Amino acid sequence: MNTNSNPLEKYRELIEHLMRSHMSSFSVNGYLTSILAYSNILHTQITGPVDEQQSEFLNKITDSTNRLSDHLHIFIIASQLMFTPEQIYEGDFNLLETIESFIEQTAKTTEFQIEKEILANPPVLNVDRNLISTSIDCIGKIIKQVHPTYKGWIKLSVAADKDFVKVVFSTNKDEDIYPANENPELFIVQTVAELHGGNFEIVNSDDNIYNFIFTLPIQK
């Protein structure tokens, strides 16, 4: 971990960024508006059995509610990180166990075939299991392949096509997804990675595929 950085200050900047740019504006208000609007329509329309359009509205309400819940969950996690910088410590972290546990859970809820190639279980320097679990969970919304390597870095590479990425990381831009500094979930992952001496980047390998690459230094 970079000893010249102040984790608490980084966390404060993270929370301020989320509250100023996302959580109090587009993310929360957008989903709340959607939920209230569709609920209002249904309240005035439903007098008997639910028809196809009303069923579609119910699905949109459920989707917006779930997305709002995800955003609030991330906000709560980020808030906890801000006030608990002492969680960062030097010591072994069972990355293999965390990855395997996450993959097992993800396989139950995704249509993607998940492949994993874990060659070793190296300890990672300066991490807290909650931070890494949260980071993997954020990236794991679009997980397809997980390939950690043992060459000085732990690398989690997640590939997804552009259309699916745009669904998971909801955006008001039709042409592209938000960059990490404009998306609260990606911003958290990027910040956590940097706090632990690692890196997080999104690489567009071609017109349709995005690779989300998350790296952490291995403890020497």
Longest dimension (CA), the chain: 67
* Residue 197 or residue 164, greater confidence: 197
Do 8 and 65 lie in one domain? The reply is: yes
User: 206: how many CB neighbours lie within 10 A of its CB?
Assistant: 7
Please say which residue of 87, 102, 133 terminates a domain: 87
What is the domain-level CATH number for residue 192? 3.30.565.10
Closest CA to 42 of 27, 60, 58: 58
Q: What is the mean pLDDT of the chain?
A: 56
pLDDT tens digits, one per residue of 50-92: 677 777 777 777 777 777 766 666 666 555 555 554 444 444 5
Do 76 and 113 lie in one domain? The reply is: no
Sign of CA dihedral 101, 104, 109, 110: positive
| pLDDT at residue number 61 | 76
Percent of the chain with pLDDT over 70: 11
Do 52 and 106 lie in one domain? The reply is: no
Do 181 and 219 lie in one domain? The reply is: yes
Closest CA to 156 of 107, 100, 108: 100
Q: Which residue has the tokens 């592209």?
A: 176
pLDDT tens digits, one per residue of 143-188: 333 334 333 344 555 445 555 454 444 444 444 444 444 455 566 6
Total domains present in the chain: 2
Do 135 and 52 lie in one domain? The reply is: no
d(CA 30, CA 185): 16
Residues 6+ apart with CB under 8 A from 84: none
* Residue 172 or residue 39, greater confidence: 39
Sign of CA dihedral 67, 15, 182, 100: negative
User: 141: how many CB neighbours lie within 10 A of its CB?
Assistant: 18
Do 122 and 194 lie in one domain? The reply is: yes
Whether 128 shows a pLDDT value over 50: the answer reads no
| pLDDT at residue number 87 | 46
Please say which residue of 22, 54, 87 terminates a domain: 87
Whether 191 shows a pLDDT value over 50: the answer reads yes
Do 102 and 21 lie in one domain? The reply is: no
| pLDDT at residue number 58 | 75
Which residues span the domain enclosing 106? 89-220
Phi, psi angles (nearest 5°) of residue 118: -110, 110
| pLDDT at residue number 208 | 60
Do 169 and 203 lie in one domain? The reply is: yes
Angle (deg, nearest 10), helices 129-139 and 184-195: 140
Do 60 and 50 lie in one domain? The reply is: yes
pTM score, two decimals?
A: 0.32
Do 71 and 123 lie in one domain? The reply is: no
